[in-house]
Amino acid sequence: MAIRERVFNAIITCFKRHGAEVIDTPVFELKETLTGKYGEDSKLIYDLKDQGGELLSLRYDLTVPFARYLAMNKITNIKRYHIAKVYRRDNPAMTRGRYREFYQCDFDIAGQFDPMIPDAECLKIVHEILSDLQLGDFLIKVNDRRILDGMFAVCGVPDSKFRTICSSVDKLDKMPWEEVRSEMVGEKGLSPEAADRIGEYVQLHGGMDLIEQLLQDPKLSQNKMAKEGLEDMKLLFEYLTLFGITGKASEEKIRTTETQVLVASAQKKLLEERLKLVSELWDAGIKAEVLYKKNPKLLNQLQYCEDTGIPLVAIVGEQELKDGVVKLRIVATREEVNIRRESLVEEIRRQTSQP
């Protein structure tokens, strides 16, 4: 409960920071409100009868109740959050902590706005929350239904099968493509050719680079829906870049350590020198690391910094040792400067703005 409270507090703080009000809706809805909203998953809805004979169901998510709330109250514009339990007659995934009763934390912006501005804010919120919770690396996946529908059309999926093939594609997170393909062809009667064409698309992943690639795609770019979806997705990525949350492949790294500098060497046989220098830095209170290999390649040492987000590399080499200097490399800009050994601690502090 203490962990849950800490997590909810972080989430609520973020939701409020973005100007959302809170609403609450009943745990049950009229069955007819939920029917037909979830495609094949409708079988997972809990149905209840009350004494008056009304058919009721436990809410399956917080989205449909929100839509009902907007419709009933004739609300056209609202930014709201809602944290509450939802119910699904699913096979509980105990290992992932997912039971038949579980919490959802919803944040929605309803209304008519210029494209992709609210969408970008919602992704910024996800990013802020996951960063705040310090769960380690994470990858946010984004989708536009028009791209998927356009893709199905150019791959030769008949209209009548769109919904059911869509729910198969949804399972790619949980099962490999081969299984998804055999479900499409075996259970859902899709032609093997269409399935293979879908496979070529759904196994691609990337960020702005992928959007550009798909906009050049001879088949997809001819499809009006897919093209509109891709254009909007491009706009979304431009806004996400302004919000500072896109990596090269839309993958945002969260630093899991606070290391300020990696002590590296440019030639072989310098392990002792690396150990001496890293020890000096530790003693001066600098957060430093060294790779645990006698003769690591410089390229591998620099790659390690890229991967983990370490901002500086202190490089010792034979010439530097003779001259009494250390080469300090700034990972982000790749610029290198020679610093006198006795000034190194001060320079690292300055670069990482630590007093």
Neighbours of 151 (CB within 10 A): 24
**What are the C-alpha distances in Å from 116 to residues 149, 209, 233?**
19, 18, 8
- Residue 253 is predicted with a pLDDT of 55
Nearest to 263 by CA among 345, 180, 165: 345
**Cα distance between the two ends of the chain:** 38
Residue 325, strand partner residues: 340
What does the pLDDT read at residue 185?
A: 93
The SS3 of residue 224 is: helix
Cβ-Cβ contacts under 8 Å for 37 (sequence gap 6 or more): 64
The answer to whether 123 and 245 are in contact (CB under 8 A) is yes
The pTM score is 0.64
Across the beta sheet with 47-49, what order do the strands follow? Answer: 28-30, 55-58, 47-49
Q: What is the spatial distance between Cα 130 and Cα 126, in angstroms, rounded to a whole number? A: 6
Reading the chain (355 residues) residue by residue, the pLDDT tens digits are 999 999 999 999 999 999 999 999 999 999 888 988 887 788 899 988 777 778 899 999 999 999 999 999 999 999 999 999 999 998 887 777 789 999 999 999 999 999 999 999 999 999 999 999 988 888 898 989 999 999 999 999 998 888 899 889 989 888 899 999 999 999 999 999 999 999 999 888 888 889 999 999 999 999 999 999 999 999 999 999 999 887 574 344 567 788 999 999 988 999 999 999 999 999 999 999 999 999 999 989 998 998 888 999 999 999 999 999 999 999 988 899 999 999 999 999 999 874 4
**Residue whose pair of structure tokens reads 């032609």 in the numeric block:** 191
| Secondary structure of 237-251 as H, E, C letters | HHHHHHCCCCCCCCC
Please tell me whether 61 is known to bind a ligand.
yes
Tell whether residue 108 is among the known ligand binding residues. yes
Q: Is 63 annotated as a binding residue?
A: yes
241 annotated ligand binder: no
pLDDT value of position 261? 95
138, β-bridge pairs: none
342: closest CA among 325, 318, 321? 325
Phi, psi of 144 (to 5 degrees): -130, 125
pLDDT at 256: 75
pLDDT for the residue numbered 247: 56
Q: Is the C-alpha dihedral spanning 97, 100, 105, 107 positive or negative?
A: positive
Write down the pLDDT at residue 39: 77
Q: DSSP string of 56-82?
A: EEE-S-SHHHHHHHHHHTT---EEEEE
Residue 182 vs residues 82, 164, 185: alpha-carbon distances, Å: 38, 14, 5
> Could you tell me which of 263, 250, 280, 244 has the C-alpha nearest to residue 320?
263
Residue-level pLDDT at 120:
94
| 114-140 burial: b if 16+ Cβ within 10 Å, else e | eebeebbbebbbebbbbbeeeeeeeee
